[in-house]
Amino acid sequence: MTWIDLTRTIHAELATWPGDPKPELLPANRIENGDSCNTSFLRLNSHLGTHLDAPYHFEEEGKRLQDLPLDPLLGPATLIDLTHKTSHIDRQDLESQNLQGVQRLLIKTSYGDKLELPEFFEDFIGLAPDAAEYVVEKGITLVGIDYLSIEPFAQPEHHTHHTLLRNEVVIVEGLDLSPLSPGTYEFICLPLKIKDCDGSPCRAVAKRITGEN
């Protein structure tokens, strides 16, 4: 089986969180202008496109990007398809799945394709607080979703983020899960190692584990 790219291409029309600037690729050196090479300046938010949340994103004393352990970022991940959901994912939705022994959980929703549109959809599907608590109870070390946030828009007190990040559950948001069907995959998701940062765009890939249908 070949590796499947789950990473959104960063471009100016990619949806961003309300109030965040669009990404910019600014020329620094250009061969066509007589320079010896091409180099560029990048201007983008740390939570753009396919990205990872470090605990410091919502926890003042939480781990920062350079302190994240690698183990949660590499290994088997289980994808569940919740594209039928029209409201937020609650504990019962996760209890109905077979998550015994799952360490990394990827959640496919009906909003994944909307991330490629320039407008932001406030009604995207996220995890309710009790679902986040269930993730922690199951010992899951990484949870990924296909829109810009793991928690519903304007959630009071940001319970979902706090519950996950206080318990050092790695959050990956903005994944392109469209090529995947339910099952178990070898998963790799690596952010940039930026000192003291709260998150980073990352490259995420997956490969179906041999023996899976």
pLDDT by residue (tens digit) across 105-144?
A: 999 999 999 998 999 999 999 999 999 999 999 999 999 9
Mean pLDDT, range 24-37, rounded to an integer: 98
- The yes-or-no verdict on residue 10 having pLDDT over 70 is yes
By residue count, the chain amounts to: 213
3-class DSSP state for residue 20? coil
% of residues, the chain, pLDDT over 90? 95
Residues 46, 201 contacting (CB under 8 angstroms): yes
What's the mean per-residue pLDDT of the chain? 96
How far is the C-alpha of 180 from the C-alpha of 161, rounded, in Å?
25
Contact (Cβ atoms closer than 8 angstroms) between residue 72 and residue 104: yes
pLDDT tens digit string along 169-200? 999 999 999 999 999 999 999 999 999 999 99
SS3 94: helix
What pLDDT does 212 receive? 60
Say if residue 69's pLDDT is above 60: yes
pLDDT of residue 78: 98
Determine the CATH number of domain 4-11+45-208: 3.50.30.50
Instruction: Please report the sign of the dihedral spanned by the C-alpha atoms of residue 34, residue 37, residue 38, residue 41.
Output: negative
Q: What is the mean pLDDT of residues 161-168?
A: 97
pLDDT band at 213 (very low <50, low <70, confident <90, very high): low
Query: Is residue 73 scored above 80 in pLDDT?
Result: yes
57 as an active site residue: the answer is: yes
Q: What is the pTM of this model?
A: 0.95
- Sequence-distant (6+) residues with CB within 8 A of 137 are none
Q: What pLDDT is stored for residue 210 in this prediction?
A: 75
Residue boundaries of the structural domains of the chain: 4-11+45-208
Catalytic residue chosen out of the listed positions 47, 57, 161, 162: 57
pLDDT at 32: 98
